[in-house]
Amino acid sequence: MRPLTTPLGLLSLLTLVELEACRSDPESAPDQASANAAGGAGGSPFDAEGASGAGGASEPLVPTCPSFDPESAGAANLALLHPADRFEVYVLGVIEDRVYFIEGEALRRVPIVGGAVETVGPFAGSWVRLIGNDDLLWAQASPTEGMQQILRAPLSDPADVSIVVEATPSVADVVLDESSVFWATIAPHDVFRAPLAGGEPELLVSGGQPLGAVVDGGYYDWIDAVSDQLERVPVSGGTREELARVLFGGPMAASDGTIFWGDTILSTIEKWSPDSGRVQLASAIDPLQLQVWEDTLYWSQGLLSGSVRSVALDGGEPRDVLCRLRPRTSFHVTEAHVLVGGGSGLLRLSR
């Protein structure tokens, strides 16, 4: 669901880095069980203490990251709620103890404790977002040629569609606040907003070309492809403000005025705050999605071997949450669980 990809010229390099960082292939560690896992950035993926003792036998390598292996029981706190079939699973969120997700062209849900999967209704769209706990918002082709429209419908009945925006140029980087939807257009390059209740689009940023966007604290924040800056503008409209020079953009999140993003060129997780400016928090190979939960930032990553990782908002050593996943990996964090979707199906990891 993200609007940008890593340039193909970096693919071979990133592949080598991924294989080094996620040595989860049994052929690369024949002494391991099939659920070998990725290691933290900058460190060994296994605990090899005692392996280099003079003249002594090597100790077994111990995986440090919970991994999903459909051929084995896997981690004790990991459960497969729904296996992948022909389509990737895209996790939307958890409402009233049910996990909602998109699979192919269907909106589906399953109890978070496990059980029968229910198809709520047909669905076909892009840039899918939850509006609170009640409604779904998405973009799809408009009856007007070459345009798209933004729609919403109750989660209980996705066929009961109402129009938020009748017609707009091609939609990208959709974000929400309590009352409005914000999106970028490709031709021309602009940023618009409209009431979630429906109404005419209003131009927010003329010429804006977001490489990721987020709304926080009354501001629309984005990384601009032309200015190479992290910028912001009040959600009510106003003058663009440049916050920090950046190399590239990617998925974004924010918390109390601090902005986080994945740089898909540098392969890093970046942070900006008014006090510290821009700093790097962690390495991240092809970051896909970010979410802040309390004092921790979570992200999914991986071109070939997907994983979910986390780091404290104030920095520190990144932690591997779940490894050896089939990309593309989506996720949603709750107080008790991390729900993970993708080519591996729908997984529930207890926190």
Q: Which domain holds residue 321?
A: 1-23+71-117+248-351
Domain endpoint, select from 246, 275, 299? 246
257: closest CA among 299, 216, 223?
A: 216
C-alpha span between 36 and 188 (Å, rounded): 47
What are the residue ranges of helices labelled H in the chain?
11-21
Confidence (pLDDT) at 168: 96
C-alpha span between 214 and 341 (Å, rounded): 22
Q: How much of the chain exceeds pLDDT 70, in percent? A: 80
In a domain, 15, yes or no: yes
Same domain as 189, residue 289 = no
Domain endpoint, select from 206, 222, 246? 246
Q: For all residues of the chain together, what is the average pLDDT?
A: 84
328: closest CA among 283, 286, 265?
A: 286
Same domain as 81, residue 18 = yes
Same domain as 172, residue 100 = no
Same domain as 270, residue 309 = yes
Q: Model-level pTM? A: 0.81
- Which amino acid is present at 285? I
Same domain as 141, residue 210 = yes
Same domain as 254, residue 238 = no
14: pLDDT strictly greater than 80? no
Same domain as 295, residue 192 = no
Q: Using an 8 Å Cβ cutoff, are 198 and 163 in contact?
A: yes
In a domain, 33, yes or no: no
C-alpha span between 61 and 82 (Å, rounded): 31
In a domain, 159, yes or no: yes
Same domain as 238, residue 131 = yes
Q: How many domains does the chain have?
A: 2
226: pLDDT strictly greater than 80? yes
| pLDDT-based confidence at residue 263 (cuts at 50, 70, 90) | very high
Domain endpoint, select from 201, 230, 246? 246
Same domain as 255, residue 226 = no
Same domain as 252, residue 201 = no
329: pLDDT strictly greater than 80? yes
Confidence (pLDDT) at 67: 82
Output the domain CATH number for residue 206: 2.120.10.30
Same domain as 108, residue 87 = yes
User: Residues near 243 by Cβ (< 8 Å), separated by ≥ 6?
Assistant: 221, 229, 230, 231, 232, 259, 272
**Who has greater pLDDT, 66 or 64?**
66
Q: Is the dihedral of CA 214, 105, 91, 20 positive or negative?
A: negative
157: pLDDT strictly greater than 70? yes
28: pLDDT strictly greater than 50? no
* Minimum mean pLDDT range among 36-45, 107-116, 159-168, 251-260: 36-45
Q: Using an 8 Å Cβ cutoff, are 343 and 325 in contact?
A: yes
Longest dimension (CA), the chain: 76
Confidence (pLDDT) at 69: 76
Same domain as 338, residue 349 = yes
